[in-house]
Amino acid sequence: MAKATKKQALGRGLSALLKDPGNDIQSAQDKNADKVIGNIVELDLSTIEVNPFQPRTSFNEETLRELASSIKELGIIQPITVRKLGFNKYQLVSGERRFRASKLIGLETIPAYIRIANDQESLEMALVENIQRQDLDPIEVALSYQRLIDEINLTQEQMSERVGKKRSTITNYLRLLKLDPIIQTGIRDGFISMGHGRAIINIEDQTIQLDIYEKIVSNNLSVRDTEALVRNYNTSKEITVPTKKEPEDLPKYIKKGVKEFSEYFGHKIDVKVSSNGKGKITIPFHSEEDFIRIKKLVQRAK
């Protein structure tokens, strides 16, 4: 406990140093810069502005309230990262959810790491750090990769090194941006998975893409069913939904429940029931991104 108190006192001391006009640190070479850079500093929330380079474009209000409740109970476990804009003025690089949640419960200060960075460096840091957190939806990740290409001029090989992802993984995300915007929204909202999107992208005509998307949603097609549908279309130029045979030995209440589960999770849910009435529900997933999507749906249902 004494150690934690000492660390907090140090943060407050550094905060006071940064509020002194005579110690306005603008670069790593400035006096006292070594006392600030790389250390945790308590900053006033009012001195921090949000990052216009933030790749996340939407924040779930319910999960923000949950985070705010956790912060109120336990405090901020992981400091945010900011860059210095001017005297006692900062901009978020990463940690906007923690920043928003802290404001939500009326905190006045927040622990932060201070970086000295120009706009391009700040953009790259924000994009890379957010991608590595793996809490963006697939389209937000794809848009982040695209911005690294367009605005930082990184090649896919360089991105692979920065974010620790295989080049093929980056390519798969970028291909999602070729989907019709309605389908991209469907992925962001969890109506279909990234796996569905990867199957649909093999159709160039966006009108046909939309027709297939509607079939996926209305018929609760799995990724495997969608891949079969796309293969059949490329061969016959007809959109044929794979026929599904419902198990006849399942009770009516289970058949109804399976349909509701399948609609909610965006996959065909498998249910097995033994003669004594006990059973098992299986929820399939087709990738890491699909697993994270399903996990979020389960957490949302709590």
Residues 86 and 121: beta-carbon distance below 8 Å: no
Which residues, listed in sequence order, are joined to residue 270 by a DSSP beta bridge? 282
Which residues, listed in sequence order, are joined to residue 110 by a DSSP beta bridge? 43
In degrees, to the nearest 5, what angle opens at C-alpha 92 toward C-alphas 87 and 98?
125
Spatial neighbors of 171 by CB under 8 A, at least 6 apart, are: 156
17-28 core/surface letters (b: 16 or more CB in 10 A; e: else): ebeeeebebeee
Neighbours of 187 (CB within 10 A): 25
Neighbours of 173 (CB within 10 A): 23
Annotated catalytic, 96?
yes
The backbone torsions φ and ψ at residue 164, rounded to the nearest 5 degrees and listed phi first, read 70, 30
| DSSP helix/strand/coil, 270 | strand
| Cα–Cα dist 158/139, whole Å | 20
Of 49, 66, 96, 121, which residue is the catalytic one? 96
Overall size of the chain counted in residues = 302
DSSP state of 192: S
Annotated catalytic residues are: 96
